[in-house]
Structure 1
């Protein structure tokens, strides 16, 4: 019987198993279908059933069928997943942009996009649509986190500039993050008569992938954003000149700073900055090659080169050392 089944299925990639009672189990291994065929299958799932008069019920059934399609295999998932979310996302965006007075979007203050499964193409399309739909929302906080590097587009940043009440901006693994500062600076230069720069109320800025941020870009940005209280930058090409500029432009407001892989800053520059930037209560440097903690605060415990964490009591010691003339504390 097994040999007979093998002859029948010799042209198929299938597994054949014969149980002790003589039962033959044939497990087919499907060849990968062309994406065009899968797309036709999935679009067939989306076609409304004849005679069905309840569109909401029909859409629910279609969504359930699409959800099932995503569980078949990776190929089905790649085709069905964007379609699965397109309808609810479009409904939500239409709802936020409703003409009611006030529109529903009027109550939205925070946008938090935490991507886990989207591809870059899907995510960029999603965000572009989201920010356009939210253009009338008085957003105060934007957080967008992507697993793996994603491209930050000029359109995306320009859409962000519409939110003039923004106080918190957090972009994780978006490249090049320097577009945030570059576009804000350019807008200010184009409209020099503007009373308020872009994001005048910005207090928290967290950017990764900042390779394209240099001293000139950074200094120009902080001069027009004097209310910054928390700042985190990764991989920025900054030197002590940026620290000196922060001590002037952000003298009283800046509270917490986290720099990662910022190699142009020295221990001496950090000490001078802390002495002059009176609002600081927390400073953290990681993988910053020039910094040796003992060169900033002699009495602190030894840490690996490039690492520096200073809390409020450490910062007060550095300032006290300046007052007493003992610069090494």
Structure 2
């Protein structure tokens, strides 16, 4: 592959829009409101945002299963409106909910899915062996899916999405509902795929997952991109290096926030605690104690993507 081809974006969106038709007499809703982004070959690219931000809608347009309402979208150099079938043949997709056939065995799920792509039986059988090893499901190959744990089903769903050797893997909330051990195993499997040159696109509500997996991230809110960069860049741009978490009795956090007005870069009052954003959390804590305040608990931690996310999108629950 030439250097120019390697540097060209695998996915490019310019002023991308998605408008949903009104229900009944309601007005149309703009789920994606004119966003620009580029995904390079071999990247792990993440979409973060609250429910209804437009993340999954964007993924469906990239996957050529939902038509674009406006703007320009190119996937693998092709227009999804014209070359949808060719694009889908080179993609793998892991939906939020597992769509495995529970009446088939683990191996049969791979074999049947491989036939949807028109692959020869011998090729599908060989790939099934490789994917069972990749997903650490060799010893479950002849068991029915309904007998698997949630983590095993998720690994099988990812393995099935790789049966056509995709260049791009779309992952919509890949580890939702899994225990920590299962999540970490999936992270390790996805990291291996990235090392093999597969381009990963994922949505997630887990900020630690985004930090672990993603080279670059866009944060979406109300259908728009409100920030873009690597996890480290976003933290440096929107947060201090550390966060001091303080708890006081009797709901007095607003009172103490005013008292600490000169401490740290900014303060945030939550129902159960007071956050003080500072580059040096221990120095901020010493300054708090110097005012004579005695918090019930005090914790200094490193700022993370969750702080960025909540700063940009707010803390109001979105259903």
TM range (shorter): under 0.3
Relative contact order higher in (CA < 8 Å, ≥ 6 apart): 2
Instruction: Give the TM-score of the pair, scaled to structure 2.
Output: 0.28
